């Protein structure tokens, strides 16, 4: 039974690139359009873009996905599997940089066990104050341990170093709508020509220009996943006790907290809170943590 990689999912179909297919013809010509066998629905499992699969060809030239190989990582929103790293795209202007939302994205990436790369776009739109804020934000997240790239895709600034980091990996590009995600992908993959939309002045965000998840091949090897834009994330798979482990800078202090299972709220002897007070953990990150903790507790009360 042939093996392959799901590179696109659309309208109930999965488009599989066979391992044995010679690298000739366009990517679209080499894909096999497949349906998933009913056993997946019965077992409440859905194949995802990025899945390694066994599939079977049918008489009409299409195929059926029969089996999924074990996943190394899995995201539900966006729905993609086996990703090595997530490129989180946030604009510096139009819309303004949203650090609490960036922190929320980082929680999801850390919980999924992936590496995170931060890409701050639209540098060309910044005034002098915006430039200072950009430098402060970049320093903050670099100090935590994240790679930060500041780009202006329209001017080609910062794109080449980011492209080098993506080579040989499967990466997912995620971010709020209107942050320049499609523009960045067009710069990373010449000829891609993804549609882009301007920001709505009324809503302060862009229209969703990507309607499905799809892996795009990179010239230097590897794949990058373009995913539908979204503006809201919900903590549906995370417990309050797990939240602290998703903040990298907490880990060295949390191990020394007086109480096991400390959630770094009101407990005495909390070394995380002491580190915040001493300026060793950024207060903005701790505020995000406490806001997320309150959101999770509120969810538990309601459900």
The annotation status of 260 as a binding-site residue, yes or no, is no
The annotation status of 177 as a binding-site residue, yes or no, is yes
- The alpha carbons of the chain give a radius of gyration, in whole angstroms, of 21
The annotation status of 234 as a binding-site residue, yes or no, is no
The Cα–Cα gap between 277 and 96 comes to 28
The annotation status of 34 as a binding-site residue, yes or no, is no
Please write down the long-range contacts of 239-242, taking CB distance under 8 Å and 24 or more positions apart: 239/296, 240/293, 240/296, 240/297, 240/300, 242/111
The annotation status of 20 as a binding-site residue, yes or no, is no
The annotation status of 37 as a binding-site residue, yes or no, is no
* Helix and strand element counts for the chain (H, E): 10, 13
Helices (H), the chain: 27-30, 38-42, 99-112, 128-144, 159-166, 181-188, 240-243, 251-254, 271-277, 283-302
The annotation status of 246 as a binding-site residue, yes or no, is no
The annotation status of 127 as a binding-site residue, yes or no, is no
Note if the bond before 78 is cis, omega within 30 degrees. yes
The annotation status of 111 as a binding-site residue, yes or no, is no
User: What are the residues whose beta carbons fall under 8 Å from the beta carbon of 49, sequence distance 6 or more?
Assistant: 6, 7, 8, 9, 79, 80, 81, 213, 214, 215, 225
The annotation status of 213 as a binding-site residue, yes or no, is no
Q: How far lies 169's CA from each of 30, 146, 153, 222, in Å? A: 21, 17, 21, 5
The annotation status of 209 as a binding-site residue, yes or no, is no
The annotation status of 269 as a binding-site residue, yes or no, is no
The annotation status of 176 as a binding-site residue, yes or no, is yes
Known binding-site residues equal: 121-124, 175-183, 257, 262, 264, 270
Known binding-site residues for GTP equal: 121-124, 175-183
Known binding-site residues for Zn(2+) equal: 257, 262, 264, 270
């Amino acid at each position: 039974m042939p093996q392959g990689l799901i590179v696109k999912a659309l309208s109930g179909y999965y488009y599989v690139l066979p391992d044995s297919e010679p690298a000739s013809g366009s990517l679209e010509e080499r894909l096999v359009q497949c349906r998933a066998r009913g056993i997946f629905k019965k077992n409440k499992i859905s194949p995802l873009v990025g899945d390694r699969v066994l599939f079977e060809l049918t008489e009409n030239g299409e195929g059926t996905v029969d089996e999924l190989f074990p996943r190394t990582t899995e995201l539900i929103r966006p729905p993609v599997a086996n990703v090595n790293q997530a490129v989180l795209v946030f604009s510096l202007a139009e819309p303004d940089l949203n650090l609490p939302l960036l922190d929320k994205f980082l929680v999801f990436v850390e919980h999924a066990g992936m590496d995170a790369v931060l890409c701050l776009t639209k540098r060309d739109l910044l005034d002098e104050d915006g430039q200072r804020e950009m430098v402060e934000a970049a320093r903050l997240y670099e100090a935590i341990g994240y790679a930060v790239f500041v780009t202006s895709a329209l001017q080609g600034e910062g794109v080449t170093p980011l492209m080098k980091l993506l080579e040989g990996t499967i990466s997912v590009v995620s971010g709020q709508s209107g942050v320049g995600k499609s523009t960045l992908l067009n710069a990373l993959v010449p000829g891609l020509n993804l549609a882009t939309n301007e920001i709505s002045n009324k809503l302060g965000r862009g229209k969703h220009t990507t309607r499905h998840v799809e892996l795009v091949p990179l010239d230097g090897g590897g794949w990058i996943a373009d995913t539908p834009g979204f503006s809201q994330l919900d903590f549906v798979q995370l417990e309050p006790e797990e939240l602290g482990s998703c903040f990298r800078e907490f880990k060295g202090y949390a191990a020394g907290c007086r109480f096991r299972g400390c959630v770094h709220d009101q407990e005495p002897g909390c070394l995380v809170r002491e580190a915040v007070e001493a300026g060793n953990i950024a207060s903005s990150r701790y505020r995000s943590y406490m806001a997320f903790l309150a959101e999770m507790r509120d969810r538990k009360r309601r459900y």
